[in-house]
């Protein structure tokens, strides 16, 4: 039996007279990976900002584990179990890799009981994401792949039930994308429900249980990846007829 861990109903967000998000409804089933795709400007990051509390909707509701979080602060939402990454990794550049992740264990959901315990738990996360050998490095000196890993580590340190990944694969080469895909699936296997915004279609098709497609702030398709890529509206709005013909 499936369980809806997150439910979004009738979500609207206007910027001036423009509806960046227009009446979106969807839910997340516990333990799944959901891909959220669409052309640039379709509303994907706005949806993330609304769920994470960085923006407030003009209409609609967001429920996590049956609790209304629509008007909660971003800090409260984080502590209730929603974590997120950002398109451009922004670590605390003067802190070490370990210190960046340790902060999440101090201020996130189920915070550690002491700094020492936070450090132990941060080390466990670094081991999981493959950054433990670099725990003492100043994070501002990390290459892109490691900054992406650290962005994941910071989010995981908040102990999320639901993790929003915003273009975590952008800028990576094919081998790095494969490595990151395996890590994302390992995060799911650890018990975290994920939503992945991504333009790397190989990744979306390879890791998603379900895909939601936005265009101009409206949901135009939803379903299993293999079904969604055959949807006429998706082909016209996002994938392109030429790309579809080659697939």
CA 133 and chain centroid, separation: 25
How many separate domains does the chain show?
A: 2
Alpha-carbon gap, residue 74 to 97, rounded angstroms: 24
How big is the CA angle at 84 (ends 103 and 125), to the nearest 5 degrees?
Answer: 50
Name residues whose C-beta falls within 8 Å of residue 71's C-beta, 6 or more positions apart in sequence.
56
One domain for residues 153 and 175: no
Domain span including residue 7 = 1-81+160-247
One domain for residues 131 and 166: no
Question: Which pLDDT score is estimated for 245?
Answer: 38
What CATH number did the domain enclosing 64 receive? 3.40.50.300
Question: Which pLDDT score is estimated for 170?
Answer: 85
Q: Which residues pair with 197 in a beta bridge?
A: 36, 166
One domain for residues 58 and 6: yes
Going from the C-alpha of 49 to that of each of 53, 165, 239, the distances in angstroms are 6, 12, 25
Alpha-carbon gap, residue 242 to 247, rounded angstroms: 9
One domain for residues 165 and 155: no
Alpha-carbon gap, residue 214 to 199, rounded angstroms: 13
Phi then psi dihedrals of residue 45, to 5 deg: -70, -30
One domain for residues 9 and 117: no
Q: Which residues pair with 221 in a beta bridge?
A: 213
Of 141, 159, 177, at which residue does a domain stop? 159
Q: What is the pLDDT along the chain (247 residues), one digit of tens a residue?
A: 679 999 999 999 999 989 999 999 999 999 999 999 999 889 999 999 999 999 999 999 999 999 999 999 999 999 999 999 998 888 999 999 999 999 999 988 888 999 999 999 999 999 999 999 999 999 999 999 899 999 999 999 999 999 999 999 888 899 999 999 999 999 999 999 999 999 888 899 999 999 999 999 999 999 999 999 889 988 888 655 444 333 3
Question: Which pLDDT score is estimated for 236?
Answer: 86
One domain for residues 58 and 178: yes
Of 159, 185, 215, at which residue does a domain stop? 159
Question: Which pLDDT score is estimated for 110?
Answer: 87
Name residues whose C-beta falls within 8 Å of residue 122's C-beta, 6 or more positions apart in sequence.
98, 101, 102, 104, 105, 153, 157
Alpha-carbon gap, residue 32 to 167, rounded angstroms: 18
- In the numeric block, which tokens belong to residue 215? 């265009």
Question: Which pLDDT score is estimated for 242?
Answer: 42
The answer to whether 49 and 86 are in contact (CB under 8 A) is: no
Number of CB atoms found within 10 A of residue 201's CB? 16
CA 236 and chain centroid, separation: 25
pTM: predicted TM-score of the whole model, two decimal places:
0.92
The answer to whether 180 and 154 are in contact (CB under 8 A) is: no
């Amino acid at each position: 039996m499936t369980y809806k861990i997150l439910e979004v109903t009738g979500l609207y967000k206007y910027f001036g007279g423009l509806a960046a998000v227009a009446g979106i409804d969807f839910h997340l089933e516990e333990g799944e990976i959901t891909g959220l795709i669409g052309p640039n400007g379709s509303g994907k990051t706005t949806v993330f900002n609304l769920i994470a509390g960085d923006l407030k909707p003009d209409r609609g509701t967001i429920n996590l584990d049956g609790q209304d979080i629509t008007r909660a602060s971003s800090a409260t939402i984080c502590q209730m179990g929603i974590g997120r990454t950002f398109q451009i990794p922004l670590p605390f550049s003067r802190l070490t890799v370990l210190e960046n992740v340790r902060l999440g264990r101090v201020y996130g959901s189920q915070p550690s009981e002491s700094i020492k315990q936070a450090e132990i738990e941060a080390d466990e996360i670094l081991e999981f994401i493959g950054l433990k050998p670099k725990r003492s490095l100043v994070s501002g000196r990390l290459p892109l792949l490691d900054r992406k890993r650290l962005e994941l580590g910071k989010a995981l340190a908040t102990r999320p039930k639901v993790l929003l990944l915003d273009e975590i694969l952008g800028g990576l080469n094919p081998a790095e994308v494969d490595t990151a895909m395996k890590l994302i699936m390992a995060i799911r296997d650890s018990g975290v429900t994920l939503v992945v915004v991504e333009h790397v279609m190989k990744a979306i098709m390879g890791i998603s249980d379900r895909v939601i497609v936005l265009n101009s702030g409206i949901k135009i398709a939803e379903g299993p990846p293999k079904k969604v890529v055959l949807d006429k509206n998706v082909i016209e709005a996002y994938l392109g007829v030429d790309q579809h013909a080659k697939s």
